[in-house]
Amino acid sequence: MNTLTSPNPALIPAAGGTGPRQATAGLALLALGVVYGDIGTSPLYAIKETFSPTHGIPLNEATILGGLSTIFWTLMIVVSLKYVVLVLRADNRGEGGIMALLALATSSVRDRPRLRSALAAIGVFGAALFYGDAVLTPAISVLSAVEGLEVGTAAFKPYVVPISAGILIALFLIQRHGTSVVGAIFGPVCAAWFAAIAAAGVWNIARVPSVLGAVNPAHALGFLTSHGFGSFLVLGSVLLVITGAEALYADMGHFGKRPVRIAWFGLVAPALVLNYFGQGALLIARPAAIENPFFLSFPEWALYPMIGLATAATVIASQATISGAYSMTQQAIQLGYLPRMTILHTSERAIGQIYVPAVNWILLCAVLLAVIGFGSSTRLASAYGVAVMGTMLVTTLLTFFVIRDGWRLPLGLCIAATGVFLVVDSVFLGAALLKVLDGGWFPLLTGSALFALMATWRRGRQLLYQRMREAATRLEPFLASLFHGELARVPGTAVFLTPAADVVPSALLHSLKHYQVLHEQVVFLTVEFADQPTVPPASRVSGEALGHACFRVAVRYGFMDRPDLVEALEQCRAFGLEADPMDTSYFVSRERIVPGPGTGGEGMAQWRDRLFAAMARNAGSFTDYFNIPNNRVVELGSRVEI
């Protein structure tokens, strides 16, 4: 699973009144739920799928030790070394996640436009794959937890899918209320979860202590070379143990590197290893337990309490993914890869807590289709790996360019630092792609569709901007000619939104054509989104006086900032602009996009033109997105052909 930001930054304890150790401990506890919810619930299905009879590998002590050794070293190499040691260092001003890394990588190669474009395409595809992951994580997590009911009695089998669907529907329905209430229990519930699975692991290891020999990498090497094609095929299931590793990097901005690392090495990694080894010990003693080794590794009296705890843990993992989808959507919008959508802020204290209705309902429909269509965690597992490894491979590629071109480290060191991870990610992705026909098509189809949408919107906006500039008039000469003659001025302030600071906004031309007057104060306002998470308030607004009570203002936001133009105008007093919010009108040009006659020059294919036009027509409210009062906005239409 690849979340983009923590869903509950408001829950992070303030440093005031607590010592550094207490603050770090509190952050580490919160990280258990937000950061490690997904990877922490992988034991529900990872061992079962790794040792599945469908791989054609016999289930005996040698193969179990080999499989466990492969799992152990996968966790150590991919999670501990790649993410905890290396990728956490590649922060974008303290923030992580694939969109933050993409912005960092593309800015590192700013002077090489072709490479920059290629990296942007790769990064956008990795981000698009995340949405497939955001669908599969809630589906497989909740379904695998509820499947524990079948262990107690087969009578529950017909009800597993309906119960899972009911839990997921309830989870999505509460999203509009925010997550602060349930978020308060994320850490404690996941701490109890990790303690329980570690205890079960110790209990089973004590019965077959020889299973600890799996830490010897020779077992992994033998396992991966002794079973021909089956050894490669099984890697498509082994990778399930690292689903959610991207969250370590994505949530770094809210928790910091130190708490994330402490939580991993202090509790999460030991608990996961103990549980995986415990399930392996159970299979050595009772091979028939492969039916559901996780729940069968607990005593009978603990079965139903563990089903309840597992359900709570998987809901937490799903919540982190859903909130991550909201956050990445916001970032993609502000980086110019998606059209505006309605974004509701569910907390007055934390900007990071947002709710995107369109994303919520689309995700719910897709998750329900996945649960009902696939019907079991085993079938979903076949689809899961493609999205996970695709995103991880993109992260490795982007990290190379960050440390090479951004940090200016020697080429040999950069290759050594990322080469091993690139090989490991590629091998795992290759194994996952073998399951395309068994379900891997789902995240690929989802990712490809979203990539087409994001790439089309980005390119369409570039073409639109180009066409508007070609037909535009330079601002300074226009103002000089405008004020050369007689022009009536009316009270108030007019703010004209324009994508380019040096040209006349089309909204002004239409306003003069229809009203033939100009306000006492005129503001030409440009909004820019930087390739960094936040822009400090002190450097957010810049401007200059153009004479005749006209001002040019530029407002800069980061891709995680909340745009607020009313607030931005209040910062303009430094260069003589004082605007009364109750006497200010915002003039916006709403372009009607008309697809061109066909592909030509540097344009897009006609189907992409039509897709872009449809996306533009359905873009969210401009006023809501920029926090402008609805009764202060005047929209003036214009027709633009691309």
Each residue of 255-312: pLDDT tens digit?
778 888 898 999 999 999 999 999 999 999 999 999 999 999 999 999 999 999 999 9
| Residue of 209, 258, 283, 219 lying closest to 28 (CA atoms) | 258
Identify whether 464 is part of a domain: no
Q: How far apart are CA 496 and CA 507, in angstroms?
A: 7
Q: Which of 9-23, 270-284, 493-507 has the highest mean pLDDT?
A: 270-284
Identify whether 633 is part of a domain: yes
Angle at the Cα of 368 from the Cα atoms of 363 and 374, rounded to 5 degrees: 120
460: Cβ–Cβ under 8 A, 6 or more apart, which residues?
593, 604, 608, 609, 612, 615, 616, 642
Confidence of residue 373 (pLDDT cuts 50, 70, 90): very high
| Percentage of residues of the chain with pLDDT beyond 90 | 40
* pLDDT (0 to 100) of residue 180: 57
Q: How far apart are CA 339 and CA 212, in angstroms?
A: 52
Whole-Å CA distances, 527 to 373, 395, 497? 44, 29, 8
Identify whether 132 is part of a domain: yes
Q: How far apart are CA 152 and CA 300, in angstroms?
A: 8
Confidence of residue 13 (pLDDT cuts 50, 70, 90): very low
- 459, 481, 511 — which closes off a domain? 459
- Shared domain check, 46 and 194: yes
Whole-Å CA distances, 441 to 234, 385, 428? 18, 11, 16
Going through 419-565 in order, the beta strands assigned E by DSSP cover 488-497, 517-529, 541-547, 550-557
Confidence of residue 551 (pLDDT cuts 50, 70, 90): very high
Q: Is the pLDDT of residue 380 over 70?
A: yes
Q: Which of 86-100, 417-431, 446-460 has the lowest mean pLDDT?
A: 86-100
Q: How far apart are CA 190 and CA 29, in angstroms?
A: 9
- Shared domain check, 165 and 38: yes
Mean pLDDT of the chain: 86
Read off the pTM: 0.84
* pLDDT (0 to 100) of residue 630: 84
* Residue 321 half-sphere exposure toward CB, CA atoms < 13 A: 35
- Shared domain check, 453 and 479: no
- Shared domain check, 483 and 448: no
500 vs 289, higher pLDDT:
289
Identify whether 487 is part of a domain: yes
* pLDDT (0 to 100) of residue 16: 37
* pLDDT (0 to 100) of residue 2: 40
Residue 533 DSSP class: S
Identify whether 67 is part of a domain: yes
Identify whether 501 is part of a domain: yes
* pLDDT (0 to 100) of residue 184: 65
- Shared domain check, 438 and 517: no
Domain of residue 512 covers 471-641
- 429, 459, 489 — which closes off a domain? 459
| Residue of 516, 571, 519 lying closest to 550 (CA atoms) | 519
Give me the mean pLDDT over the 244-257 stretch. 76
Give me the mean pLDDT over the 193-198 stretch. 96
Identify whether 2 is part of a domain: no
* pLDDT (0 to 100) of residue 146: 92
Identify whether 80 is part of a domain: yes
Residue 335 DSSP class: T
- Shared domain check, 455 and 476: no
Confidence of residue 538 (pLDDT cuts 50, 70, 90): confident
Q: How far apart are CA 267 and CA 467, in angstroms?
A: 56
- Shared domain check, 491 and 401: no
* Bridge partners, 589 (sequence order): 636
Query: CA 502: distance to chain centroid?
Result: 35
How many domains, in total, are found in the chain?
A: 2
- Shared domain check, 488 and 453: no
Whole-Å CA distances, 339 to 330, 386, 455? 10, 27, 11
| Mode of pairing for the β-strands spanning 541-547 and 550-557 | antiparallel
CATH number at 283 reads 1.20.1740.10
Q: Is the pLDDT of residue 209 over 60?
A: yes
Q: Which of 148-162, 273-287, 423-437, 444-458 has the lowest mean pLDDT?
A: 148-162
107: Cβ–Cβ under 8 A, 6 or more apart, which residues?
406, 531
Q: Is the pLDDT of residue 600 over 70?
A: no
* pLDDT (0 to 100) of residue 352: 57
- Give start and end residues of each alpha helix (H) in 483-634: 506-515, 565-570, 606-617, 622-625
Residue recorded with tokens 């529907």: 169
* pLDDT (0 to 100) of residue 10: 35
- Shared domain check, 334 and 234: yes
- Shared domain check, 435 and 547: no
Confidence of residue 370 (pLDDT cuts 50, 70, 90): very high
- Shared domain check, 159 and 65: yes
Phi/psi at 10 (nearest 5 deg)?
Answer: -65, -20
* pLDDT (0 to 100) of residue 254: 66
Q: Which of 289-298, 307-316, 442-451, 620-629 has the lowest mean pLDDT?
A: 620-629
| Residue of 421, 322, 447, 342 lying closest to 6 (CA atoms) | 322
- 459, 491, 517 — which closes off a domain? 459
- Shared domain check, 403 and 273: yes
Q: Which of 144-153, 200-209, 551-560 has the highest mean pLDDT?
A: 200-209
Q: Which of 11-15, 24-28, 345-349, 365-369 has the highest mean pLDDT?
A: 365-369
